[in-house]
Amino acid sequence: MKILVTGGGTGGHIYPALAYVDYVKQSDPTAEFMYVGAKRGLENKILPPTGIPFKTLEIQGFKRSLNLAATKDNLKTVQLFLKSIQEAKAIVKEFAPDVVIGTGGYASGAVVYAAAKLKIPTIIHEQNSVPGVTNKFLSRFVNKIAVAFPDAAGHFPKEKTALVGNPRATSVVTVTPSEILRDYQLDPQKPTVLIFGGSQGAYRLNQAMLEAFPLFHGKDYQVLYASGDRYYAEIKEQKIDWSQLPNVSVQPYIDKMAEVMINCQLLIGRAGATSIAEFTALGLPAILIPSPHVTNDQQTKNAQSLVKAGAVKMLTDAELNGKLLVDTIDEIMQDDPLRKQMAQASKKEGIPDASQRLHALVNELTKK
């Protein structure tokens, strides 16, 4: 089977695609892949080390402003899109895939649209509870629409849409508990709270953590905080007596996030689709602080769907401070029945067989 995968711009579009590719490679070593992204997207850093054949298109997104400069940029965007469709058709014809899967981002718009026009079976995957512009556009042309959140299904034609989850869940569900917390000078036997704001960190979360550090003194749980590189130096410059906080470990970055997650009892972070797929697959309760800077406020809507399910508590970026954060952590960590109830709800929302479900759609379309 030959599968062309396209998506990029952010890790939220790229990592689910790569998780699906890994799953298929394990189940069918003869499968062939091609990945198509944008010339300036994050995929240019992530894809080359994977060894997957990789091509790019020059394409950009629309500006939402109404000024003259934005209008000129948007005219260029249209020109690039039309040109990229022709380039995408050439790539698709040369590779001759059995199916094309788009996971979002502007490059996937051109590639999936081109494939649909060439009568090749097409699938789009929507990671968020509210669809992005590209997938909304493509929904009219594709054969199947795979969604990660039940709430997203209402935005698409019912007859095309299937709930599959996020393939990142399949990648983490096989992880088992270990002694990895020792690598961060923490006790593997002690209840642990994992806090992170993404690979780059999050300003408001970091400011709240600076206020929260003294409040963690004497708690019967421990805290592992991944600050992101940009805030790590600032934290280390603070006049904090770390000898009084043996239950707190601050790291710039956590390399093996899934392995750490499985050894923790509570997760705190943003509400990105990839992170949600991971912690729900593991059945972790969470406190989510959605980023206010995401298009269509997608993270808030992602979090709200899990609040409704009883799996998480949500704090807004605007209200966040150290005392509120620690009080909310205490509310969960000091109430075992509540924490177990949230964990069960999280597990129920997780879809660990997401890659299998997505591949079932592929098999349905290709009849293989």
Half-sphere exposure of 337 (CA within 13 A, CB side): 0
Binding site, by residue number, is 10-12, 128, 199, 254, 299
CA dihedral 122, 128, 130, 133 (to 10 degrees): -50
Torsion 316-320-324-328 (CA) sign: positive
Please give the structure tokens belonging to residue 60: 């950009």
Helical segments of the chain, H only:
11-27, 43-46, 68-95, 106-117, 133-138, 168-172, 203-212, 229-237, 257-261, 273-281, 298-309, 322-333, 336-349, 354-366
Give the containing element (helix H, strand E) for 56: strand 54-57
Binding site for UDP-N-acetyl-alpha-D-glucosamine, by residue number, is 10-12, 128, 199, 254, 299
Identify residue 324 by its one-letter amino acid code.
L
Residue tagged 């970026």 (tokens): 317
Rounded distance, CA 226 to CA 197, Å? 7
Please give the structure tokens belonging to residue 89: 């058709």
Query: Per DSSP, which regions of 135-271 are E strands?
Result: 144-147, 161-163, 192-196, 222-226, 248-251, 266-269
Rounded distance, CA 204 to CA 206, Å? 5
